[in-house]
Structure 1
Amino acid sequence: MGKLDRFGRDILEASRQDFVGPAGNQEVLVNQVCAPSNHAADHVLDRLVSDTDVPAHLITRVYSRFIERAYGSLYKGGAWKAEYSFEIQPHLEEHSLHWKVHGTSQLRMAPPAHGHQKAYDKAYVEAETRVLNQSKIVITTCANAYLHSALMQEEKQQILRPVKFDTIVIDEAAQAPEPDVVLPSACATTRVVVVGDHKQLGPVVPERNLCSPYVNILKMPFLERMLKNPRRWEASTMLNMQYRMHPSIRSFPSSQFYDSKLEDRVAIPHRPELNRIWPEAKEHRRFIDCRTPQSMGLSPELTRTCDAALTENKTSLKNVGEAKVAAGLCSLLLKQGRCEARDIAIITPYRAQQYEIRGRLQKDIPGSKHILVGTVHSLQGSEREFIIISFVRSISDDVQDIAPSEEATSMGDSLALREMRKTRLGILEDSRLLNVALTRAKYGLVCIGNSEVLSNGSKDYYDLIQDLKRRGCLVSREDFLQNGRSSQRLIRHKPRRCLNA
């Protein structure tokens, strides 16, 4: 929460220091920041670019060769069809390694790739090395730190490192498998800084052909293993100052997951134009009680990246009703709240719901491309002004709810029904997933879900919904949609001012 502000200043300070070598020559120290996923790495890049005074040419983002090819790189033959490609945000692309390489004199003077591929590749590698050595901060994923050929090369059974890194920072280390923390750390010449929260999501291990003990080892977060050793506590520091969330958004995660130790170091002014969603100046949360059914949806095969969400039995879940509400919220924010699309993110535990929401946005809202839609796992480490969470879990579309809400919690409720609901949350039962989802928002948070099913399935959700009820933040889906339609009519029929009046 406040970690980027803290280690961002440390990186900035380290990047300003140069090293005088044995021969008396001044050498530029290069620092590397690694994160488990592309989303988390881009978030670090965005913050360093927007919140520090480091010149843009000194910050370089290294994407994988697959992504570079998708964005025009002709190294090793250029583009070829891939099943998965990460979308680079337009305002960040100028900081990428492949973008900078294309503007170097080495590549401009190199022979064309077509017909002279080896000569072109040689010039490309030389340009990469030059760009990286002229940078002070290099940002990449943990995997790319030891797999990307611009950062680590193998020649005659020897490992060559074209760039030497003084300090290496591993961000969101709790989400990275242990090898993804240890291997990049081996490249540091002076120090390693490991940053993360062991109370948030751990590694995703998509491989299904590994033996169970090895999978369990990979699922153990590096930070959790470190903190099991009492001596490691002396070398650790809890950053309890949070610089992201509105105090009302911070309140529940702090009391539920961090023993009420989080303190606010942020001032977020109230925006009256958003009163239709968050009517109270001191309360920037909303829970839309959506009783629409869940259904099965196909989920793509998991890739080797950390951007994959957990699936159950090679399938995933979606909730069309919640997707419609999420799209309606986005429309309200963009039209009435005068918000930008890049300030909004929609997160969900399930990949099928991610695609359902993305399809709904493309259909209903022109220009919604820059609204970020992803799984909780893939967006850990990210933040946005406005976060919409779709929990998905509800009564299945082939199951009839035999008890209304008032009777579901009474003494006469069926024990079998209560037990069935208690075990229906699946991956949502992981309290770390809820913690991550609730702590991405800066100004406003909206949760969409079946309050009854969620409350009966987990104590964390029960406590959350009771807290929101006490503060008047719970609204039914029908009331919200009716309120939204009224707002849209007011916008469309707002009388124009007479210029001559």
Structure 2
Amino acid sequence: MSNNNPYFDRGPAPAQPGGIGTQRGDGAPPWHAHSRGGGRGRGGGRGGRGGGGDNFNWHGGGGGRGGGGRGPWDAGGRGGFPGGEASNSMAAPGAGLPAASPSLDFSPPAAAAALPPAVRRAVDSYVARFAPLVQMELDEERRQVEERLRVWPLPRLRSEGLVLVGLRATRRGSYLGKAIVRLTAEEGGELPFHRFTSGTLVTLCRTNPLTERSSEGLVLDRSRWEVRLVMEQPPRGLNEGVWRLDKGVNITTYQRMAQAMQALYKDPDAAASSSRPAGAAEDDGGEGEEEDAGEGDGPGAQAYGGRGRGGYGRGGRGGRGRGGDRRRRRRQDEEEEDELPPGSYLADVLLAAAPAATAAAAAAAAPLMGPAALQWAAAHIAEPTDPRVEDPQMGLNMSQVRATALAMRHRVVLLQGPPGTGKTTTITRFIHHLKTNMRHSAAILACAQSNVAVDNLLEGLVDLGLRAVRVGQPVKVRESLRDATLDARILAHPGLEAIENMQTQLRDMRARLPSLRGRDRGLGHRDVSLMGRRVREMRSEMMADILKGADVICSTCVGAGGDQLQDLSFPLVVLDEGSQCCEPEALIPLVKGCRHAVLVGDHCQLPPVVQSERAAAGGLGRSLFERLMTAGVPASMLQVQYRMHPLLSCFPSARFYGGRLVDGVTAQQRPPPPLPLPGAGAQAAGSRAGESGAEAEVEAGPLMFVDVPEGREEVSRGGSKSNRAEALVVAGMVRHMLAAGMSPADIGIVTPYIAQVQLLSNLLMPLVPAGGPPLEVSSVDGYQGREKEVMVFSTVRANPSASLGFLEDWRRLNVAITRPRRALILVGNADTLRRGDAAAAAAAVGTSGSGSGSGFGSGQAAGSGSGSGSGLGPGPAVGSGGHWSSYMAWLEGLQGGVVVRGGAAGLSRLGWRLS
């Protein structure tokens, strides 16, 4: 298909289908290659029957309509996928891996036919760009899991923390209607290193998930001695023998991205006029309802690509027939289209062909704000002064008030929040302002990419007195906030008892069915179906009642596409961590009838995590936030940081934010901890607005670099890197901190490489008192958005060629050095970092930033042409050279000697007790 939308001219697009299939779906691209059946018309018609069989980790049924599809890029369409029988929201036990990755459905819904030709072409071009990228990413994640299970020996899986074996299992109560399973080491004692954290999707089996039946669950929590799972249905014989726990693959994210792209074809006005009541559920295709069971002849006959409950496809007895009649197919098409989100009123912003058109569409007046709100917003944008006397008490600083005003003024707004500038505070006060002062009546959808960020939003909203409801898996919600989850509200709802009584009756009726014969059996099936439908209706009504009374609905981006919010529209969407979402993921909340969007993020920190190199090169690694920032969409930067000691913010402010990041805390408010850190007295050239280059006295106590020249990086079997000499120094320093009375909860350790995370975890685990707060060791990427009183950063890289690998990424450096509040301790090889890839690092960001120093411009605010352009301290200008070489020069130039030479020996001379 020709690509006539200029937005998609960035780099070579992935290979597109070779033509429109007319026989056997011969235009099908690789991501639908396993769909079966003939084709007719554009992209092939409805194909033949799909296969049956079991699957591992991939939900949904086998069989179904193969070869279908309504778009030239999706000739494979709703293809069948060799799979097992579907369940509700967790997979039924299955055996073995599928022969091919599950094929996602990107085919246009019937509503696409009503779009104006120009809009249809724009959506076609957008989907053609991103559909193969999303499929590539799913294929890569699935490939990695399959490779690990097929190729890696068990010792390697264990050393990488991807499996636990020899586990004893016991059932320990229930959690919101699901079983809690406690896993402990067979011989007792502590569990070895592993990477199973709260919310991780896992599989439980005896010895090998490739060859035996396995059951899925989610990690509820963990300690040094146990891992607790939440499971829909624990396996039989749970208390007998030993078990194996593996990390699984969750395709829900990818399916919901595909649905979001399909929803771009829908007119949200038309969708709103035909929407079902909130929470309405479709028929489950139970016994006695073969017309709903699908077209295949195997178990779970609804196609994998179909969108059943939970996004996994519907189970059912399956209908034979010869493709079914047109009425049934039409009904299935209508049901599937109803299950798509309603679409977005912001399609002109999302799909505009040129950046100027994108910016103009976004800058239009916000459609939900009344005249008073727009007048208030315009006044505070035009005159960015301190809050006025007549203003409501919002508790925000000047830049936060201006950001709030901008968010109220335009249809789409970007709020850039550098580290510690109060993004969560600004978002929650903005929502509170709309609800209390501007009388905004509709429920607001507040989303973020991660569960941690959603919890932070939820906590802030609840503290402000708003009625906030958290949707999604309760197991992934912070324990102190679980009473605000939809599941918890359902359990407390007065209508629950009536539903439970009907469910008891339903179970009894089903139990009697096998004893019935003839006409009585048919009537019994009918009664079961009718009562089951009524139970679903009552449950939906109860859910709608809870959601209808909420001021704010909180969820992850992926969670916004779940069944719980399926039939709801949200005119106003606030999206935190917008710069960490790949664009199709950010679409999920935006296609739920969104008219007004506020995206919050920071494109100067780490971008979305993309595992497929091809998908990243194709554009999946660039966030919607960054793309809109580059296009010139209205944006505002929060400028006052409240996290770090002023010395710690000097370099990132000048290097990455054009000198516009100022301090809202003093050195006295962030005193260094009582540790033998280098003395005070360092001078730092003014990098703050208003200092005009004058030298300002800044305490050097919160900063130290420990040079470990004897360390050498080692490559693990998984390709990751570690540095044992550095790890031993870090362990010794943490031992000293704990002996000095510091709490493990106040210490964070980060490193770029998972092998170093594992090594440090093994060394530090024995140092933490039993039953006390945990000591967190994480990758840099996993710590974005977090903070601690003291941070220790092990850089790992140490080699004669001074190669830094992905450590040279300026955004990773920015994240790593902006996590601490009171002290930052870096441990590394000074020579490698000083010499390492300076030219490559400079080229990665460019040699010039925004002329105004705003941090916007091209989306890369770290150039040497930043607004202030001033150096820090007696070292070279912060804006020259590579980022690590500049940082090392700045550190070495600070007065007070923040660089400690000689590793452990140098620390001992300073007063550290490492053993």
SS in 2 for 1:33: strand
CA distance in 1, matches of 2:736, 2:491: 41
* Partner amino acid, structure 2, of 1:4: T
In structure 1, what is the equivalent of residue 645 of structure 2? 246
In structure 1, what is the equivalent of residue 746 of structure 2? 343
Q: In structure 2, do the counterparts of structure 1 residues 103 and 433 end up closer, same or farther at CA, with 3 Å as the change threshold?
A: same
User: Residue by residue, what CA displacement relative to the aligned partner does 1:139-169 show, whole Å, maximum 9, x if unpaired?
Assistant: 32222222x22122xxxxxxx22xx434311
Q: In structure 2, do the counterparts of structure 1 residues 368 and 188 end up closer, same or farther at CA, with 3 Å as the change threshold?
A: farther
Q: Is the 8 A contact 2:575 2:599 kept in 1?
A: yes
Alignment RMSD: 3.4
Larger radius of gyration: 2
In structure 2, what is the equivalent of residue 470 of structure 1? 893
Moved over 6 A (4+): 112-115, 117-124
* Partner amino acid, structure 2, of 1:449: G
CA distance in 2, matches of 1:390, 1:376: 10
User: Which runs of 5 or more residues in structure 1 are unaligned?
Assistant: 21-27, 72-85, 153-159, 300-314, 396-416, 490-501
Q: CA deviation at 1:334?
A: 3.9
Q: In structure 2, do the counterparts of structure 1 residues 376 and 486 end up closer, same or farther at CA, with 3 Å as the change threshold?
A: closer
User: Which runs of 5 or more residues in structure 2 are unaligned?
Assistant: 1-418, 511-531, 681-697, 839-881
Pairs within 5 Å for 1:118-137: 128-137=543-552
Find the partner of 2:625 among 223, 226, 234: 223
SS in 2 for 1:356: helix
In structure 2, what is the equivalent of residue 31 of structure 1? 444
CA distance in 2, matches of 1:132, 1:298: 49
In structure 1, what is the equivalent of residue 705 of structure 2? 287
User: Residue by residue, what CA displacement relative to the aligned partner does 1:445-467 show, whole Å, maximum 9, x if unpaired?
Assistant: 22222111111113211211222
Q: Is the 8 A contact 2:708 2:827 kept in 1?
A: yes
TM-score by length of 1: 0.70
CA distance in 2, matches of 1:121, 1:353: 49
Find the partner of 2:659 among 245, 257, 260: 260
SS in 1 for 2:786: coil
CA distance in 2, matches of 1:180, 1:61: 19
CA distance in 1, matches of 2:823, 2:543: 41
Q: In structure 2, do the counterparts of structure 1 residues 488 and 355 end up closer, same or farther at CA, with 3 Å as the change threshold?
A: closer
Q: Is the 8 A contact 2:645 2:670 kept in 1?
A: no
CA distance in 2, matches of 1:377, 1:177: 15
**Do residues 386 (structure 1) and 786 (structure 2) align?**
no
Q: CA deviation at 1:431?
A: 0.7
In structure 2, what is the equivalent of residue 54 of structure 1? 464
**Do residues 360 (structure 1) and 769 (structure 2) align?**
no
* Partner amino acid, structure 1, of 2:908: Q
* Partner amino acid, structure 2, of 1:227: M
In structure 2, what is the equivalent of residue 309 of structure 1? none
* Partner amino acid, structure 2, of 1:289: D
CA distance in 1, matches of 2:617, 2:659: 34
CA distance in 2, matches of 1:333, 1:178: 42
CA distance in 2, matches of 1:219, 1:345: 27
CA distance in 2, matches of 1:385, 1:128: 41
CA distance in 2, matches of 1:391, 1:53: 38
Q: CA deviation at 1:427?
A: 0.8
CA distance in 2, matches of 1:360, 1:124: 50
Q: In structure 2, do the counterparts of structure 1 residues 287 and 347 end up closer, same or farther at CA, with 3 Å as the change threshold?
A: same
Deviates more, 1:111-120 or 1:431-440: 111-120
* Partner amino acid, structure 1, of 2:658: D
Pairs within 5 Å for 1:42-441: 42-45=455-458, 48=460, 53-55=463-465, 58-63=467-472, 65=473, 68=474, 71=475, 89-107=478-496, 110-111=499-500, 128-146=543-561, 148-152=562-566, 160-161=567-568, 164-187=569-592, 189-207=594-612, 212=614, 215-229=617-631, 231-232=632-633, 235-267=634-666, 269-271=669-671, 273-277=673-677, 279-280=679-680, 282-283=699-700, 284-291=702-709, 292-297=711-716, 315-339=719-743, 341-366=744-769, 367=771, 370-395=774-799, 417=800, 420-421=801-802, 424-441=803-820
CA distance in 2, matches of 1:42, 1:54: 14
CA distance in 2, matches of 1:93, 1:320: 40
Number of aligned residue pairs: give it: 401
Q: CA deviation at 1:370?
A: 3.2
Q: CA deviation at 1:387?
A: 2.1
In structure 2, what is the equivalent of residue 9 of structure 1? 429
Q: Is the 8 A contact 1:39 1:382 kept in 2?
A: no
CA distance in 2, matches of 1:128, 1:466: 59
Q: CA deviation at 1:473?
A: 1.4
Identity within the alignment, %: 28
Q: In structure 2, do the counterparts of structure 1 residues 178 and 361 end up closer, same or farther at CA, with 3 Å as the change threshold?
A: same
Q: CA deviation at 1:279?
A: 4.8
Q: In structure 2, do the counterparts of structure 1 residues 249 and 485 end up closer, same or farther at CA, with 3 Å as the change threshold?
A: closer
Greater RCO (CA < 8 Å, at least 6 residues apart): 1
CA distance in 2, matches of 1:18, 1:486: 56
* Partner amino acid, structure 2, of 1:467: W
CA distance in 1, matches of 2:655, 2:458: 30
TM-score by length of 2: 0.40
Q: Is the 8 A contact 2:729 2:904 kept in 1?
A: no
